Amino acid sequence: MKRALFTLVGLLCAASFQIEAEEKIHAVTEEFAPFNHTENGKVTGYSTQVVEELLERAGMPYDLAIYPWSRSYKMAQTLPNVLIFTLARTPDREKEFQWIGALAKRKLYLYRLAARRDINVVNLEDAKRYRISVNRDDAAERLLLDLGFSYEKNLDLSPSDESSLKKLLAGRIDFITGNDFTIAHRLKMSGVEPSRVRRSAMLIDQGEYYVAASKATSPEVVNRLRAAFQQMEKEGVIKRLEPKID
């Protein structure tokens, strides 16, 4: 009898462990300061703070990692229990993810070297005469492709924002994309004087950045996350932490 009881307890514990393991959330992102970035070996930033509190409130075990954006994006497209941030919510992505909550307004500009006085851009058609660095699977890449830009004529693929900045400083490209807040942090982390880079033209001033769950994540998990996020919004947590852009 005791042996049977111990066996039953063991099976229940194993089942409990399996459920917990299956429901562990893998939160993934990219280097996109100040929203999410690595500092002293730790993933930090505004969006990271929001996501960590979100998962704590939802009572879900999790791990957190920064990868190149294309890898994080692929994980969120193909695996269950993946939470991705900071993700621009765009029409082409609408059905690919389960949207949890908005993190910040979305603004995107083109930036050039201040010394490049030969660059004259009044509108986006003018910008098509120049080389613009983008990251694979990034919303800026999709936006520019939709606007008629192409890799054959004016887009340059980079593995990261850091790589894009290096190319800009070396004169290998003409523009990088971002907003005043992300560009300021990028320059600071690279030890570059802010005066060396200048905002040139606006790409978009609409939409929002989100935290989203992979399509394969269960409805129960998604509902718990959404409920926790909504509670954080009601308490003013999101607004209090949100960086002010521009």
∠ CA 216-239-61, rounded to 5° = 35
The domain 24-105+207-241 is placed in CATH, from the list 3.40.640.10, 3.90.110.10, 3.40.190.10, 3.30.930.10, at: 3.40.190.10
pLDDT band at 115 (very low <50, low <70, confident <90, very high): very high
Q: How far apart are CA 54 and CA 34, in angstroms?
A: 18
Pairing verdict, β 208-214 and 97-105 = antiparallel
pLDDT tens digits for range 181-236:
899 989 998 999 999 999 999 999 999 999 999 999 999 999 999 999 999 999 99
* Residue with the two structure tokens 């830009």: 149
Q: How far apart are CA 168 and CA 174, in angstroms?
A: 6
- Which segments of the chain belong to CATH 3.40.190.10? 24-105+207-241, 108-204
pLDDT tens digits for range 126-175:
999 999 999 988 889 999 999 999 999 999 999 888 999 999 999 999 99
Pairing verdict, β 108-113 and 197-204 = antiparallel
Phi, psi (rounded to 5 degrees) for 44: -140, -170
Residue 207 near residue 47, CB atoms below 8 Å? no
Q: Is the whole model's pTM more than 0.85, yes or no? A: no
In percent, the amount of the chain with pLDDT more than 70 equals 89
Which residues are CB-neighbours of 129 under 8 A, at least 6 positions away? Answer: 154
The domain 108-204 is placed in CATH, from the list 3.30.930.10, 3.30.420.40, 3.40.190.10, 3.40.50.450, at: 3.40.190.10
Residue 209 near residue 87, CB atoms below 8 Å? yes
pLDDT tens digits for range 5-34:
444 444 444 433 444 445 799 999 998 888
Residue 88, number of CB atoms within 10 A of its CB: 17
Local structure of residue 242 (DSSP, 8 states): -
